[in-house]
Structure 1
Amino acid sequence: MKNITPAFDSNLLSASAEEKIDYFKNKIVRHPHLEQSYNLARECIEFSEKGEIVWIVGPVGVGTSQIGRKLWSDSRHSASELDDGEISASTSPCIAVTAPDHSDRIDTKYWTRLLGDILRAHGDILIDRKIYAPPNQFTLTHPIPYVDPRNRDFDALKYAVINMMQHRRTKLLLINQADRLLPESHPGGCLRSLQILRDLAAQTDARIVLIGSYQLAHSACTRNNWLRRQQTVHLRRYDHTNPQEFKSYALALINLLAEMPIENRLEALSVEAAKDLCISTVGCVGTLKRALTQAFQHALRTGEKMTEDFILQFAPYNKVALEIAEDTKRGERLFLDVSLDEVRDVLNATTAEPTRGIRNGPGKPIPKIATGSPGGINQRRIGERNSSRDPSGGAHGSQHP
């Protein structure tokens, strides 16, 4: 049993319910996985080569969006003026957008919507309402190319986005829910998205950061191992079977409970209740925060006491948790490593002796690699690992796949 000491200002107890809820919603609790992944994301952004894309992936509700918000908050600053002859425009070092939803198809119309969102988020809020004037009757003095809203095709918008990002010296483009760009049901759309993203990254000085669930990782890995050739940040869940990870999760839970400004608060937390919450939220602190927020709101409205059983009522349904757990385990397999012995087996493999009737030489069949004999290639599915390796969710931090 762990006692919970209030960490909020006692004056909040006399505040309105809306003020209490806003306080708790805006409270961010730091925990090891979040801090490690954020620091790795900053390093990937800083040291990635031009044209590379940074991926931030993890299970649903683990907190990838929180990393995106922190990157945006830390990267933006007050607008400053840059003088370039008679032209002055404010800089925009960071821009964040959410990929729009789609109907299982990623075509140029979809990317037209997304590019328009980027232009609007960049400050060009009237992109759909500008008055058209023929070039021979109007002298354009703004350095960002004008896009006719009546004839704004994909190529024009793409050029406008590239030019705007260059002119405003954008260093970071964050795209949340980026798994929408790579639907498994539309392979052609996935390839189109990857090519457009690569073009945007290569033609600007900005680093593009894609933020999404394991669906993003799965789609990217099946497209010619695209994900493995880029900078990747894997924000993992907490594994309740690992004592150190469960301790970190429980500490985050206690810190959140300590920030609830309510009279009938929970004063102590048992290990059993913490483990039940860890399992029902699949070890994801973001999902935990949503469950605690719902419990807090309900307790404020009804006046009920915050007990362990009361809080557990607002955890995800077991069926929902099961679906998330299954998706999480499939996603984690994408990031499993293999033993060094497997690499050694491949490098030490020798070709078999030529069989009768097969000759070596230019244009002749090549002998097959021996796979069944000792020293041959140890064939294994991509993502599988030796049983001697540590299980997923072990002590390793965020890593590149």
Structure 2
Amino acid sequence: MQYIESKFPPELLSDASEKKLDYFKKKIVSHPHLVQSYNLALDCIEFSEKGELVWIVGPAGVGTTQIVRRLWKDTSNAPSEPDEDGMAAPTTATVVVDAPDNAERINTQYWIRLLGDLLHAHGDVLIDRKIYVPPSQFTLTHPIPYADPRNRNFDTLKHAAISMLKHRQTQLLLINQADRLFPESHPSGCLQSLQILRDLAAQTDTRIVLIGSYQLARTACTRNNWLHRQHTVHLRRYDPTDSDEFNAYARTLINLLAHMPTEQRMETLSLEGAKKICISTVGCIGTLKRTLTRAFQHALRTGEKMTEDFILQFTPYNTVAREIARDAMHGERLLLDVSLDDVRSVLNATNPGASSGTGNSSNRSAPKKTTGTQGGFNQRRIGERNSSRDPAGGAYGPRRT
């Protein structure tokens, strides 16, 4: 039984229910998988080359949206740099868009919608045709006609988007729900999306980050191995069968419960209760936060005491959790790396003389030796750090912003 010590400001207890709920909704609790994935995302963004894409994938409800919000917060305030005339050019370091629904097909009209959303999110429609006139020296006598980018053709919008990204010196384009760009039922549309994204990245200094579910990973892994050729960040769920991961999940759960500003909050948590909540939320912190928010909102309205059984009423239905778990397991298998011994066995099968020491192998370099346990770091999942070599934070100098 773990005692839960309150961590919220005491004065919140006398505030209205709306303020209490708003405080909890905005509370972000860091946890190992989130910190690790965020730092790896920064590294991928910093070290990627022109035309390369960064992929952030994970199961539904794992918390990829938190990475998007933190990337936007940490990179959106970039200083303005002088233009050719010595004037301070307006910059937008980071822009975020959600990929629109696709109706299972990707075509030119779909990309007209997405490019239009990008232009609107950036605040520009005709960036290369604007001039600045001080308002005190000019009075409009006729209204400026509004040009809806969705009514323009694809090539015009693509050119406008590239011009805008260059002019605004945009360094980071975050596309949330990016799995919509790659529907499994439309291979040609997937190829079109990939080509357009690569064109945008190659013709600007913008790094493009795609954030999505394992559907993005499934499509990418089956379409010319795109995902493995790019920079991949895998934000995983916590595995309740692994003691270390379950303990990390339980600490995050306790931390969230400690920030509930109410007298009806839980004060203790049992090991069995934490295990049930972890399984019901499939080990996903995003799903856990939504569960606790719904339970907290209900308790504020009814005055009920929050218990483990009370919270379990607001977890996803078991049928939903089962489908999320199946999708998570399948996605993890897609991204699971192989050991160096597996690579060596393939090479030895191609060159039979290599393993037996016979044949013309005198000019071949000896295989690299592995250290540590069998398989070493090669057995970790794609998109994960090696904790012994890559600390989760503070290991690098200034980031690209």
Aligned residue for 1:64?
Answer: 64
How many Å apart are 1:85 and its aligned residue?
2.3
How many Å apart are 1:340 and its aligned residue?
2.1
User: Taking structure 1 as reference, are residues 395 and 54 closer, same or farther at Cα in structure 2, changes over 3 Å only?
Assistant: closer
1:399 has 2:399 as partner: no
Note if contact 1:214-1:328 (Cα within 8 Å) is conserved in structure 2: yes
How many Å apart are 1:286 and its aligned residue?
0.4
Note if contact 2:337-2:381 (Cα within 8 Å) is conserved in structure 1: no
User: Taking structure 1 as reference, are residues 395 and 261 closer, same or farther at Cα in structure 2, changes over 3 Å only?
Assistant: farther
User: Taking structure 1 as reference, are residues 84 and 242 closer, same or farther at Cα in structure 2, changes over 3 Å only?
Assistant: same
Aligned residue for 1:17?
Answer: 17
CA offsets 1:131-170 (integer angstroms, 9 cap, x no match): xxxx9xxx8647xxx9954851001000000011011110
- The amino acid of 2:115's aligned partner reads L
SS at match of 1:84: coil
How many Å apart are 1:347 and its aligned residue?
1.1
1:208 has 2:208 as partner: yes
Aligned counterparts, 1:372-383, within 5 A = none
How many Å apart are 1:90 and its aligned residue?
1.1
How many Å apart are 1:103 and its aligned residue?
1.0
CA offsets 1:79-125 (integer angstroms, 9 cap, x no match): 7474432876410010011101121111110100100111111112x
Aligned residue for 2:359?
Answer: none
SS at match of 2:335: coil
Aligned residue for 1:372?
Answer: none
- The amino acid of 1:93's aligned partner reads A
Q: How far apart in 1 are the matches of 2:201 and 2:266? A: 49
User: Taking structure 1 as reference, are residues 257 and 398 closer, same or farther at Cα in structure 2, changes over 3 Å only?
Assistant: farther
How many Å apart are 1:389 and its aligned residue?
7.5
Aligned residue for 1:268?
Answer: 268
User: Taking structure 1 as reference, are residues 350 and 315 closer, same or farther at Cα in structure 2, changes over 3 Å only?
Assistant: closer
Aligned counterparts, 1:2-401, within 5 A = 2-77=2-77, 80=80, 82-85=82-85, 89-124=89-124, 127=125, 141=131, 149=148, 152-350=152-350, 398-399=383-384
User: Taking structure 1 as reference, are residues 89 and 147 closer, same or farther at Cα in structure 2, changes over 3 Å only?
Assistant: farther
- Structure 1 segments, 4+ long, off by >3 Å, are 78-84, 86-89, 139-142, 146-151, 394-398
User: Taking structure 1 as reference, are residues 17 and 26 closer, same or farther at Cα in structure 2, changes over 3 Å only?
Assistant: same
* Richer in helix (by share): 2
Note if contact 1:82-1:91 (Cα within 8 Å) is conserved in structure 2: no
Q: How far apart in 2 are the matches of 1:313 and 1:177? A: 28
SS at match of 1:238: coil
Note if contact 2:277-2:315 (Cα within 8 Å) is conserved in structure 1: yes
Root mean square deviation, CA, Å: 2.4
Q: How far apart in 2 are the matches of 1:397 and 1:113? A: 33
- The amino acid of 1:110's aligned partner reads Y
SS at match of 1:50: coil
Q: How far apart in 1 are the matches of 2:344 and 2:382? A: 25
Note if contact 1:282-1:324 (Cα within 8 Å) is conserved in structure 2: yes
Note if contact 1:59-1:236 (Cα within 8 Å) is conserved in structure 2: yes
Q: How far apart in 1 are the matches of 2:300 and 2:177? A: 32
Q: How far apart in 1 are the matches of 2:97 and 2:188? A: 23
Q: How far apart in 1 are the matches of 2:259 and 2:306? A: 13
Note if contact 2:341-2:375 (Cα within 8 Å) is conserved in structure 1: no
Note if contact 2:6-2:258 (Cα within 8 Å) is conserved in structure 1: yes
SS at match of 2:277: helix
Q: How far apart in 2 are the matches of 1:84 and 1:341? A: 56
SS at match of 1:90: coil
- The amino acid of 2:261's aligned partner reads P
User: Taking structure 1 as reference, are residues 342 and 86 closer, same or farther at Cα in structure 2, changes over 3 Å only?
Assistant: closer
- The amino acid of 2:116's aligned partner reads G
- The amino acid of 1:399's aligned partner reads E
SS at match of 2:96: strand
Aligned residue for 2:365?
Answer: none
How many Å apart are 1:53 and its aligned residue?
0.3
Note if contact 1:53-1:208 (Cα within 8 Å) is conserved in structure 2: yes
CA offsets 1:162-197 (integer angstroms, 9 cap, x no match): 011011110000000000000001111111000000
How many Å apart are 1:264 and its aligned residue?
1.2
Note if contact 2:233-2:382 (Cα within 8 Å) is conserved in structure 1: no
Q: How far apart in 2 are the matches of 1:81 and 1:46? A: 20
Please give the TM-score of this superposition, normalised by the length of structure 2: 0.82
- The amino acid of 2:233's aligned partner reads V
Per mean C-alpha deviation after superposition, the further-off stretch among 76-85 and 1-10 is: 76-85
Note if contact 1:236-1:398 (Cα within 8 Å) is conserved in structure 2: no
CA offsets 1:322-362 (integer angstroms, 9 cap, x no match): 0000011111111112232221122122579xxxxxxxxxx
Aligned residue for 1:356?
Answer: none
- The amino acid of 1:159's aligned partner reads H
Q: How far apart in 1 are the matches of 2:265 and 2:21? A: 14
SS at match of 1:54: strand
CA offsets 1:268-319 (integer angstroms, 9 cap, x no match): 0000000001101010000000000000000000000011110110011111
SS at match of 2:97: strand
- The amino acid of 2:76's aligned partner reads R
Q: How far apart in 2 are the matches of 1:140 and 1:33? A: 45
Q: How far apart in 1 are the matches of 2:70 and 2:351? A: 53
